[in-house]
Copies of this chain bind each other. A is one copy, B any other.
Amino acid sequence: MKVKEVADLVSISVRTLHHYDEIGLLTPDETTEAGYRLYSDDNLETLQQVLFFKELGFPLKKIKEIINSPSFDRQEALKLHRKMLMEKRTRLDRMISTIDKTIEHKKGVIQMTNKEKFEGFDFSQNPYEKEARERWGDEAVDRSNAKLVSITGEERKALGDRMNEIYRNFADLRDTSPESEEAQAAIKEWYNFLNSDSGNHYSLEAFKGLGQMYVDDERFTKNIDQFGKGLARFMRDAMAVYADKNKE
């Protein structure tokens, strides 16, 4: 395949391919008599790898090191790429939800803390990019047997995301009464969530106590009230109602 064909196929410029050739990142396997670059299927695969790494924000220099490193395992790299793209996706999701909230905010419906306004932008939060930088970064390029991080980081993150979502739902219910059907339904979900996903088990008593803690312990209050003023108080009340009602 000639330059333009490749360029069109992957939607990059011819100049970019020239550039990659110039810096020795991707030199075509063959050239015609006239000096035309001819890219092989293998070249295309390398290009695919290059673009993946680029998408993840690696500088070309590092990409060159990476794919030329003897310890470079395409299979492993692909798997890590997958993980990182998934990360990127959840970051995108957060950005989308940030937009949604901004839109609501502008309508004056909810308050948004400054921190919330930038959710999804914090790239340093991505453990996989860090991991990759360690794995393929300056010093480690030639250390061949680095290990993949355990899944716990990812899991913990997903958990946090879900909790935040639930908090947000509560925030929408603030102006109903703690006894209202919606509030109680939400609280029920909250109870089940705490018992299913966190590994702990809360009795109804403990659940009620937890609610009280939301108000007593300012670390909780602060965290929760981020999602809406008075939310901690509201949740405590709703949790108490729920516990008392289901005890009988």
Contacts and interface: CB of A to CB of B under 8 A. Distances in A.
Chain A: interface size category: 35 or more
24 contacts: A9-B115, A10-B118, A10-B121, A10-B122, A11-B118, A11-B121, A11-B123, A11-B124, A11-B125, A41-B114, A44-B114, A44-B117, A48-B102, A51-B118, A74-B106, A75-B103, A78-B99, A82-B99, A85-B92, A85-B95, A85-B99, A86-B96, A88-B92, A89-B92
A245 interface: no
A100 interface: yes
A55 interface: yes
Interface in A91-120: 92-93, 95-96, 99-100, 102-103, 106, 114-115, 117-118
Contacts of A217: none
A119 to B, nearest CB: 10
Contacts of A247: none
Interface in A33-75: 41, 44-45, 48, 51-52, 55, 74-75
A79 interface: yes
Interface in A186-224: none
B55 A78 contact: no
Contacts of A85: 92, 95-96, 99
Interface of A is mostly: helix
Contacts of A11: 118, 121-125
A81 interface: yes
Contacts of A96: 82, 85-86, 89
Contact of A117 (B45, B88, B102, B123): B45
Nearest to A45: B117
Contacts of A78: 99, 102-103, 106
